[in-house]
Copies of this chain bind each other. A is one copy, B any other.
Amino acid sequence: MLFPFSEAPRSAASDDPGSSYLTRKLDQHFELGPREQASLQRFLQARVQTVDTGVSIVEEGDAPREIHVILSGWACRTRRASNGRYQILAFHLPGDVCDFGAFAMRRSDSSIVAQTPLRVASIGQAALRDLSGSSPRLAQAFWRESAAAASVQREWLVRICQQNARQRVASLFSELAARLYVVGLADDAGFALPLTQADIGNACGLTPEHTNRTLRELRTGGLVAFERGRVEFLCWDALIELAGFRGDYLGFRTLAAEKPPAELDLVAHML
């Protein structure tokens, strides 16, 4: 079956060794049975590799050979612009499925570069076909991830076209917080952000210098602090107020839930 999307109740998060981040995200939407969990395990563990910081797992222009799931670490998607500079197009966080539709294109339109030491699972075309054949649920889940990523991509355009520097950084931080929160890598205090100020600026369409000043404004303004590779929330309410952040475009269930779980303090503010 190809297009059988429907809702399913939410299961408690499991903690599989190799795919816990992904499982946590998928639990947002899909009750994965033990067979599917095992199936997912198997497919992810088949081809796991470690990648050093700065190394590409996909190179712009290459023919797509496989898709990837980030098991741990950060990666970012970049494209070389006509002026020779690189543009950061997206961040791929633990649990993210990168490039689900890659096999549909002759060539990759962008690179994926490890931003930290990375553990990635690679899934070839044949394996992906097997996976979707053996578990339509997983295919659905992957597809949903892909659709959510497209929605995030669009939000990045809105961010750059409609917001000023402070708002851009604030909304990027909010987005990352929400996405990391879902996989347990952010809490109400903050999260680790393995990027330079220049990277943050690039993703927001700002120069490094201006990013620096913007970050200072946010810090002295008592909103967020980015220091030593960590984002610390100083006043979450003020942050999402400035960012105009609503998490709905991320497609998470909890962010649009009827009855948000009590412990999700951070998330509750995103509604």
The interface of chain A, by Cβ under 8 A from chain B, is: 1-5, 7, 77, 79, 81-83, 85, 87, 89, 101-107, 109-110, 125, 128-129, 132-133, 139-140, 143-144, 146-148, 150-151, 153-158, 160-163, 202, 205, 243-246, 248-249, 251, 253, 256
A2 in contact with B5 (CB, 8 Å) = no
With beta carbons under 8 angstroms apart, the residue of B3, B128, B133 that contacts A103 is B3
With beta carbons under 8 angstroms apart, the residue of B82, B104, B153 that contacts A154 is B153
16 cross-chain CB contacts under 8 A:
A2-B2, A3-B129, A3-B132, A5-B103, A81-B158, A82-B244, A87-B157, A87-B162, A89-B154, A105-B144, A105-B151, A105-B251, A109-B154, A109-B249, A150-B153, A153-B154
A109 in contact with B151 (CB, 8 Å) = yes
Give chain B residues whose Cβ lies under 8 Å from the Cβ of A248.
107, 109
Give chain B residues whose Cβ lies under 8 Å from the Cβ of A82.
162-163, 243-246
Give chain B residues whose Cβ lies under 8 Å from the Cβ of A244.
81-83
With beta carbons under 8 angstroms apart, the residue of B1, B101, B107, B143 that contacts A150 is B101
Q: Residue of B at shortest CB range from A144?
A: B104
Give chain B residues whose Cβ lies under 8 Å from the Cβ of A129.
1-4
Query: Could you say how many copies of this chain the assembly holds?
Result: 2
A158 in contact with B104 (CB, 8 Å) = no
* From A125, A139, A153, A161, residue with most partner B Cβ within 10 Å: A161
Give chain B residues whose Cβ lies under 8 Å from the Cβ of A157.
87, 89, 153, 156-157, 160
3 closest cross-chain pairs (CB), A and B:
A82-B244, A104-B147, A161-B205
Q: Residue of B at shortest CB range from A124?
A: B3
Give chain B residues whose Cβ lies under 8 Å from the Cβ of A146.
101, 104
Q: Residue of B at shortest CB range from A171?
A: B82
B161 in contact with A87 (CB, 8 Å) = yes
A160 in contact with B158 (CB, 8 Å) = no
A87 in contact with B125 (CB, 8 Å) = no
